[in-house]
Amino acid sequence: MTSLEGKVAIVTGGRRGIGRAIAEVFAQRGADIVLGDRQEDEAFAAADEIAAATGRTIQACFLDVAEHESAKSMVDCALSKFGHVDILVNNAGVTRDTLIMRMTEEDWDAVLDVNLKGAWNCARAVVRPMMKQRWGRIINISSVSGLAGQAGQTNYSASKAGLIGFTKALAREVASRGITVNAVAPGFVPTALTQDLPEDLKESMMKLIPLNRWGTPEEIAYAVAFFASEEASYITGQVLSVDGGMMMM
């Protein structure tokens, strides 16, 4: 099991689903955590629960990833509390699925602002302190929808594909300062973002998964924990699909 002892990690969208699982796995492996989320009360409740279960220090902070000043405030909160930030997981995400003929400009902007601009805001806020300490890990949560596209998700697929390009470009910028930047592309995982998918779509997607099951938030978290660890120190600019074999090349 990879150790994250002594590390401080920011996890955006960390109060539930994949973000919550990432925070829990990180804390189990010795990291202290800042949970950034718009739902402040729920984030504080999640932080208390994770702290009680792991004995680590878990700090919840209000975060609207679409706003640069909010992202900067969250990083300042982490630095004030812990003195350093070692890991950023850009996990916060939203969906507004519909066919392009029905999709509004607001639907498009809302998803791109959170999923793509949000990652840019948070990375921009955290890169400078990581560069000063000459060590850092940034892990962006993309999606198989960003690799293959998905009907009814032009906004979501574009945002997650954009994250992959962002990952590779940023990896080149910061590699000389000891910072790695990678992406994890989950397949179908039962979360709040997937619970409302039509049953016929779920059934058709299952046929594309060689392992013949959905993944779990914990299985995504284990991959993220690997990228955050010392064991992954020679890996940067990569995208790891954790999808039961959906995206085999």
Contact 59, 46 (CB under 8 A): no
Q: How many residues does the chain have?
A: 249
Please return the burial class of 40, using the count of CB atoms within 10 Å of its CB with bins 0-12, 13-18 and 19+.
middle
Helix (H) or strand (E) holding 79: helix 68-82
Task: Report whether 2 contacts 231 (CB < 8 A).
Answer: yes
Strands 8-12 and 32-37 come out as parallel
Residues assigned a catalytic role: 156
Reading phi first (left if > 0) and then psi (alpha if -120 to 50, else beta), residue 114 is in: alpha
Distance CA 80, CA 206 (A): 45
Measured between alpha carbons, how far is 62 from 70 in angstroms, rounded to an integer?
Answer: 8
